[in-house]
Amino acid sequence: MSTQKKLRSSDWFGKQDKMSFVHRSWFRNQGYPDDYFMNRPVIGICNTWSELTPCNGHLRDIAEVVKRGVLEAGGVPFEFPVTSLGETVMRPTTMLFRNLTSMDVEETIRANPIDGVVLLTGCDKTTPSTIMGACSVDLPTIVIPGGAMLNGHFRGECIGSGTFNWMIKEKQGVENYTMQDILEVETGVARSQGHCMTMGTASTMACMSEALGLTLPGAAAIPAVDARKKLLAQLSGRRIVEMVKEDLKLSRILTRNAFENAIVINSAIGGSSNFIIHLLAIAGRIGVPLSLEDFDVTGSRVPLLVNLKPSGKFLMEDFYYSGGLPVVIREMQPYLNSDVITVNGKSLCDNCTISPCYNTDVIATLQAPLQSEAGMVVLKGNLCEQGAVIKPVAASAHLLKHRGRAVVFECIEDYIARIDDPDLDIDENCVIVLKGAGPVGYPGMPEVGNVDLPMKLLQKGVKDMVRISDGRMSGTAGGTVVLHVSPESAIGGVLALVHDGDMIELDVAARKLHLDITDEELAARKASWQPPAPMATRGYVKFYIDHVQQAHLGADLDILRNGSGAEVIRDLH
């Protein structure tokens, strides 16, 4: 086989010296023939499979299919494991390990004889972490989203994984669900392999990957167990070999225009607020300037087309049968940059010119959108000098302009201890303020921003209240929730200075979040503020706390921004 460019892997396998003998010889214990090492593109299949990450539990099967495609195209596949991030079980939060996994991915790719990479992703953080790591090396790379589970079903109703979690307190406390009911829901909501089937963070990340041009067209919405997922995997295996020959690296695809497209598409699908933090981090790795404000400027006046839970009605399986993301891309063409290329070498828009919609209840048209303006709004004000975000489409319209009395919780443990205290002085007009949930304060910045309402208010029928925190919110959740307040309370952001009884003003249309106290009072509180004790004094968590950046920068580690390319730092061979 001839390739246009000398392969990176030939530095390991292509010489006639002692070290190339060593490199080839040990691989031979797997029974590979001579020609495996004769200038064939070596494809690393980066697998986030783990039995501890149920959402990615099928990815070993998918990896085998990718290998078929790689071999058919003349490449040589080598599968490798990386740290897998299982959203439902990892403590304190998978987000603490997103950057760690990205380092694992980056260093594994760079240190090995790899010419191109296939990223097998699924559960929330497994997508951004692997893309971030791959960006810092910048080889030809293709993403295969693992796909969502089949629609959840329970007693004749369609229910969404993740989204149902946020109703359990209400179901038990108000509708008297028994343990048997809960056990039944568990099995009904997780009917097949795959990730959450709402437009939560995992589905959002799959759509982000496709919108950035990192997948073959139509990849994001294919359910995990649909045979077409395997077809996609095989074709992706073939395509990555071609991408190596074309030297179609990540940096040629991930341009500023591609990021803008991803922001537009995220608004049109009603994607997760976590999209912001992950896209900022990915942009930081590939070296594309992107700011928090870009999400508002580019994405906040975009119509909403996709009617999926948590803010809508349907689920990912319905989205796929309706035509999936290519329909959204075709509809949104007037908003998109057309001069971007995707992994198949064609532009995002050209890939989707013929993409019929099969159900306009699920994917609306641009002429008749579900809402004329969707997307994330970036708030500014004395309470969030570097910004905060809110997803209006998931909020209650009557709370988008609100002034209320703060009920403050110093940390999530404080909230848990007091929220259901019958004597807590709180009503539906109050603003729940949660501190200590930012990247440093609760290392990893957990998804606690959408804290449950007090039971006594739920029982009164209250469905939503304004909640403000420096934490994140699960993409499967909703409510009038202000998130990612930056700077966070643990490093002395103004959030740390809010007291019970302070008045807070939220005005989403005006992009305003304001703590209504005098400048003198604010200065006095600042002067007497004491930082909390660090959450860790050793190990990775200490390293993370020392280096993590604030939410408005994507919460990546400062030493990981940009990349080091594919060159090995020292090479004795």
Q: How far is the CB of 475 from ligand FES (least distance, A)?
A: 8
CB closer to ligand FES, 84 vs 351: 84
Interface with ligand FES includes 202 (CB under 6 A)? yes
Residue ranges in 251-310 that form contacts with ligand FES under rule CB under 6 A = none
Looking at beta carbons only, is 202 or 466 nearer to ligand FES? 202
Question: Distance between CA 519 and CA 526 in Å, rounded?
Answer: 10
Give the three-state DSSP class for 432: strand
- Residues in the interface with ligand FES (CB under 6 A) total 10
- State which residue, 208 or 431, has the beta carbon closest to ligand FES: 208
User: Applying CB under 6 A, which of residues 7, 46, 55, 508 lies at the interface with ligand FES?
Assistant: 55
CB of 224 to ligand FES, least distance (A): 11
Question: In the bound complex, what is the minimum distance in angstroms from residue 119's beta carbon to ligand FES?
Answer: 16
CA atoms in the 13 A half-sphere facing the CB of 313: 8
Coarse DSSP helix, strand, coil percentages of the chain, rounded to the nearest 5 percent: 40, 15, 45
List the interface residues with ligand FES, window 387-406 (CB under 6 A): none
User: Are 357 and 323 contacting, i.e. CB atoms less than 8 angstroms apart?
Assistant: yes
Within 10 Å of residue 510's Cβ, how many Cβ atoms? 13
Nearer to ligand FES, 140 or 200 (CB): 200
Token pair for 292:
């928090």
d(CA 342, CA 383): 40
Question: What gap in Å lies between CA 224 and CA 161, rounded to an integer?
Answer: 14
Provide, rounded to whole angstroms, the least separation between the CB of residue 149 and ligand FES. 9
Type of residue at 464? D
| 147 phi-psi bin (left φ>0, alpha ψ -120 to 50, beta other) | left
Token pair 């290329």 is at which residue? 341
Answer yes or no whether residue 196 interacts with ligand FES by CB under 6 A: yes
**Nearest distance in Å: CB 202, ligand FES:** 3
Site mask, ligand FES, residues 58-97, x = CB under 6 A? -----------------------------xx---------
Calpha distance 342→215 (Å, rounded): 7
Q: How far is the CB of 124 from ligand FES (least distance, A)?
A: 5
Q: Which stretch binds ligand FES (CB under 6 A): 23-31, 42-50, 196-204, 491-499?
A: 196-204
Which residues partner with 403 through β-bridges? 505
- Member of 195, 239, 330, 552 binding ligand FES (CB under 6 A): 195
**Minimum CB distance to ligand FES, residue 201 (Å):** 7
Rounded CA separation 341/332 (Å): 17
Instruction: State yes or no: residue 232 binds ligand FES (CB under 6 A).
Output: no
Q: Distance between CA atoms of 343 and 352, rounded to whole angstroms? A: 14
Length of the chain: 573
When the beta carbons of 109 and 123 are compared against ligand FES, the nearer one is 123
Angle between helices 126-135 and 95-111 (to 10 degrees): 40
Query: In the bound complex, what is the minimum distance in angstroms from residue 442's beta carbon to ligand FES?
Result: 19
Shortest approach of ligand FES to residue 390 CB, angstroms?
22
Q: How far is the CB of 248 from ligand FES (least distance, A)?
A: 29
Selected range binding ligand FES among 193-201, 258-266, 301-309, 503-511, rule: CB under 6 A: 193-201
If DSSP codes are grouped into helix, strand and coil, which group holds residue 76?
strand
> Of the listed pieces 136-144, 184-192, 195-203, 230-238, which binds ligand FES according to CB under 6 A?
195-203
Distance of CA 273 to the CA centre of its chain: 8
Q: What is the dihedral angle through the alpha carbons of 70, 71, 74, 76, rounded to the nearest 10 degrees?
A: 80
Q: Kindly tell me which residue out of 41, 44, 75, 200 binds ligand FES, with binding defined by CB under 6 A.
A: 200
DSSP three-state, residue 419: coil
The distance of closest approach from Cβ of residue 272 to ligand FES in the complex, given in angstroms and rounded to an integer, is 10
3-state secondary structure of 120: strand
Nearer to ligand FES, 88 or 192 (CB): 88
Part of the chain binding ligand FES (CB under 6 A), chosen from 192-200, 252-260, 454-462, 547-555: 192-200
| CB closer to ligand FES, 84 vs 236 | 84
Residue 39 or residue 88: which is nearer to ligand FES going by CB? 88
Q: State how far the Cα of 71 lies from the Cα of 443, in Å rounded to an integer.
A: 43
Piece of the chain touching ligand FES by CB under 6 A; list 102-110, 194-202, 236-244, 503-511:
194-202
- 558 by Cβ neighbours in 10 Å (0-12 / 13-18 / 19+) ranks as exposed
Give buried/exposed letters for 5-14 (b at 16+ CB in 10 A, else e): eebbbbbbbb
Q: Enumerate residues 95-154 that contact ligand FES by CB under 6 A.
A: 123-124
Residue 433 beta carbon to ligand FES: minimum distance, rounded to whole angstroms: 27
d(CA 121, CA 45): 11
> Which backbone phi and psi does 389 adopt, to 5 degrees?
-130, 155
Nearer to ligand FES, 159 or 384 (CB): 159
User: What type of residue sits at position 54?
Assistant: P
Q: Beta partners for 141?
A: 117
In the bound state with ligand FES, the residue whose beta carbon lies nearer, of 19 and 89, is 89
Q: Where along the sequence are the contacts to ligand FES (CB under 6 A)? A: 55, 87-88, 123-124, 162, 195-196, 200, 202
